[in-house]
Structure 1
Amino acid sequence: MSEAPVIPDPRPTYERAAEQLLRLVTAVRPEQLDLPTPCTEYDVRALLGHVVAGADRVANVGEGKSPDGPDVPEWTRDLPAGSWPGTYEAARARLLAAWADDAKLDELVTVPWGKMPGRIALAGSVMETAAHTWDLARAIGWSGELDRTVGEFALAAAQQALPAEGREGMPFGEARQAPEGVDTYVRLAAYLGREPEWEGRN
Structure 2
Amino acid sequence: MTTSLLENVDEARSALYEVVSRLAAADNDKQTPNAKFTVAQLTEHLQNSITLLGGAAGADIEIASEGSAADRLLPQAQTAVDAWQRRGTAGMVTMPIGEFPAEVAVRILTSELLVHAWDYAVSTGQDFAPSEALATSALESVRMIIQPERRDGDFFADEVSVSDDSPNLVKLIAFTGRDPDWSPAS
TM-score range relative to shorter protein: 0.7 to 0.9
Deviation at 1:114, TM superposition (A): 4.2
Change over 3 Å in CA distance of 1:113–1:181 after alignment to 2? farther
Q: Deviations over 1:4-57 (max 9, x none)?
A: xx6664111110101110110011122111000012211011112222221122
Q: Contact between 1:7 and 1:120, CA under 8 Å: does it hold in 2?
A: no
Q: Deviations over 1:87-122 (max 9, x none)?
A: 3221022112322335x5222113355422111110
Q: Which runs of 5+ in 2 are unaligned?
A: none
Give the equivalent residue in structure 2 for 1:157.
141
* Whole-angstrom CA distance in 2 between matches of 1:91 and 1:115: 22
Change over 3 Å in CA distance of 1:180–1:117 after alignment to 2? closer
Cα RMSD for the two superposed structures: 2.7
Identity of aligned residues (%): 19
Partner-residue secondary structure (3-state), 2:157: coil
Give the equivalent residue in structure 2 for 1:138.
122
Does 1:127 pair with 2:122? no
Which amino acid in the other structure matches residue 74 of structure 2? E
Partner-residue secondary structure (3-state), 1:189: helix
Give the equivalent residue in structure 2 for 1:167.
150
Find the structure with the greater CA-based Rg. 1
* Whole-angstrom CA distance in 2 between matches of 1:112 and 1:131: 22
Partner-residue secondary structure (3-state), 1:101: helix
Which amino acid in the other structure matches residue 17 of structure 2? L
Which amino acid in the other structure matches residue 171 of structure 1? F
- The equivalent position to 2:161 in structure 1, one of 153, 177, 181, is 177
Runs of 4+ in 1 over 6 A off after TM superposition: none
* Whole-angstrom CA distance in 2 between matches of 1:46 and 1:93: 20
Give the equivalent residue in structure 2 for 1:60.
55
Give the equivalent residue in structure 2 for 1:196.
180
Partner-residue secondary structure (3-state), 2:115: helix
Q: Which runs of 5+ in 1 are unaligned?
A: 1-5
Aligned residues: 185
Q: Contact between 2:59 and 2:80, CA under 8 Å: does it hold in 1?
A: no
* Whole-angstrom CA distance in 1 between matches of 2:112 and 2:74: 16
Deviation at 1:166, TM superposition (A): 4.2
TM-score (norm 2): 0.85
TM-score (norm 1): 0.79
Q: Contact between 1:9 and 1:105, CA under 8 Å: does it hold in 2?
A: no
Q: Contact between 2:23 and 2:70, CA under 8 Å: does it hold in 1?
A: no
Deviation at 1:144, TM superposition (A): 4.1
Q: Contact between 2:90 and 2:102, CA under 8 Å: does it hold in 1?
A: yes
1:1-202 alignment runs, 5 A limit: 9-63=4-58, 76=65, 79-80=66-67, 83-102=68-87, 104-111=88-95, 114-163=98-147, 165-167=148-150, 171-179=155-163, 181-201=165-185
